[in-house]
Amino acid sequence: AMEKSRPLWDNPLQFVFACISYAVGLGNVWRFPYLCQMYGGGGFLIPYFIMLIAEGMPLLYLELAVGQRMRQGSIGAWKIISPYLCGVGVASVVVSFFLSMYYNVINAWAFWYLFHSFQDPLPWATCPLNSNRTGYEEECEKTSSTQYFWYRQTLNISPSLDASGRVQWEQALCLTLAWLVVYLCILRGTESTGKVVYVTASLPYCVLIIYLIRGLTLHGAVNGLIYMFTPKLEQLSNPKTWISAATQIFFSLGLGFGSLIAFASYNEPNNNCERHAIIVSLINSATSIFASIVTFSIYGFKATFNYESCINKVILLLMNTFDLEEGSLTADNLNEMKDYLMATHPQEYAQLAPQLKNCSLEAELDTGGGGGGGGAFIVYSEAIKNMEVPQLYSVLYFVMLLMLGIGSMLGNTAAILTPLTDSRVIAARFPKEVISGAVCFINCVIGLIFTMEAGNYWFDIFNDYAATLSLLLIVLVETIAVCYIYGIRRFEKELHTMVGRKPNWYWKIMWAFASPLLIISLFIFYLTDYILTGTLQYQAWDATQGQLVTKDYPGYALAVIGLLVASSTMCIPLGALGTFIRKRLKSERVSTI
């Protein structure tokens, strides 16, 4: 294996910080609490930790060990293991390129919200007035002020994918700023990331601790925590619970993107990558649980606030309609009074019934979150606007999102840059600053698609389809390659040289049997899910109703989805085919000589 000129990391701690900065992201502070809410509260932790042991730690260790041993980025590392596997590294780079194209848009949105966080009142706190200044905007009245700010003032979203609209210059500027920040962090290639990761890895924890202290003191926070820690064990019989747990572990650790291999390739050859794999995976999972406690305290506050507001509106409506004495109707006796009024004033109550909302704290908690990228902005901004000194908590939250997003982007760009700088042809002709700048510029220009009026629909396409199947196939080939092509005994000896001891039976069983079977199961599930779904659909914003509606993807969108999946997965067989043809031609030339 070709040696790096020098290790990037000043010390092993810096490497751990880089891995944590990359792995801990929006998936931990947003996606995990959402899945926890969807699939049985505390009960979701059971399949989650089983998947961590069976899938997360072994595959993380494998990728770190391969990168550290081969001292190359993803393309070079798998080429050394077998020339026929060069396509695996190329597939990882393609997937990382797709991810970089759309993921930095989240940072652009975070900048947008951060800039608006200094206003008093916050712009998403109330609905704006209409053009005549005689009332509120009609679209905002049909939804909520936070959803209106997201869909109309942030995205200016079109009614469907077909109405592409124009580029939103405010979002385009925010995206340019996001890419400029990333470029400054990687200015000297991946070397400069070593200085940045201390901030991007540690600052989110400081913000989460502040939010934890504030969250636990909020009115109704305990309702959210009870909801989180009350396990719904019946969800354990739901296959989607296990699939979601496995997928969450898989993606939150960033397996298959090539970033971890790139980071590990800059380690000292004798670095204890086994210990670091365990530390990083445990910190990653602990962060998810810690963030869930913070998020569910916010859920509880938001749900309690909405529930009590609903109760107060019902009380006010009943008191005004039936001319009741003030104080005679309370939240405690509301149901009894409703029964009494229905019995004594049946006609009036029947006319009023459609306006009386059925207030339920459980229902509010059930709908507290949202799985998409927009949920991280809508739900938190909804809770923040009702806090004391909302500007402070808004600034803290969106700075945290930026740190998480930039940390993940450093890993994504490292996965692209390391193979490029490893290439003697490219590295000899261009300095690192030019290579880094070119990658950022190309991604930024293509990313302008996501700032159009239909950009959020394209964002969802990339988020849902650019990586899922491709990454599963990449990691499956990686484990098979190490265990059955390179040879697990040979790999075992090299780990002994690096770490100082051979891997125990747990690692070998997981690498050779459990993890590949698990990945194959996930792969089959996703394929059958896509097939059984029939026509793929997406959620479009209907301004006239003030809500999301389901629509079928048009033909050209389906073609793009197919292209996204094929362009990365086909790299693996095409790389093997290309190597076979080159070797065949070479042998024929030798035989003719």
Annotated binding site: which residue ranges? Answer: 23-24, 28, 252, 284, 404, 408
At 291, list the tokens. Answer: 């963030």
- Whether residue 383 contacts residue 298, with contact meaning beta carbons closer than 8 Å, is answered with yes
Handedness of CA 205, 211, 216, 221 (dihedral sign): negative
- Whether residue 228 contacts residue 222, with contact meaning beta carbons closer than 8 Å, is answered with no
- Whether residue 67 contacts residue 261, with contact meaning beta carbons closer than 8 Å, is answered with yes
- Whether residue 398 contacts residue 113, with contact meaning beta carbons closer than 8 Å, is answered with yes
- Whether residue 124 contacts residue 118, with contact meaning beta carbons closer than 8 Å, is answered with no
Any idea what the Cα angle at residue 382 is, between residues 302 and 393, rounded to 5°?
95
Rg (CA), the chain: 26
Residue (of 532, 527, 534) closest to 558 by Cα position:
534
Return d(Cα 179, Cα 182) in angstroms, integer: 5
Taken as a whole, the chain contains a residue count of 593
Any idea what the Cα angle at residue 359 is, between residues 356 and 360, rounded to 5°?
160
Q: If you ran DSSP here, which 8-state letter would residue 354 be given?
A: G
Q: How many helices (H) and strands (E) does the chain have?
A: 29, 2
Return d(Cα 73, Cα 95) in angstroms, integer: 14
| Distances, alpha carbon 104 to alpha carbons 144, 185, 188, 291, in Å | 27, 14, 20, 22
Residue 554's SS3 state is coil
Which residues participate in the annotated binding site for Na(+)? 23-24, 28, 252, 284, 404, 408
- Whether residue 86 contacts residue 111, with contact meaning beta carbons closer than 8 Å, is answered with no
At 163, list the tokens. Answer: 């109405």
Return d(Cα 284, Cα 251) in angstroms, integer: 11
At 44, list the tokens. Answer: 């979701």
SS (H, E, C) 387-443: CCCHHHHHHHHHHHHHHHHHHHHHHHHHHHHHHHHHCHHHHHHCCHHHHHHHHHHHH
Return d(Cα 87, Cα 473) in angstroms, integer: 12
Return d(Cα 15, Cα 17) in angstroms, integer: 5
* C-alpha atoms less than 13 angstroms from C-alpha of 192 in its C-beta half-sphere: 14
Residue 551's φ and ψ, nearest 5 degrees, are: -135, 155
User: Residue 121, preceding bond cis, omega within 30 degrees?
Assistant: yes
Q: If you ran DSSP here, which 8-state letter would residue 162 be given?
A: S
At 84, list the tokens. Answer: 């026929």
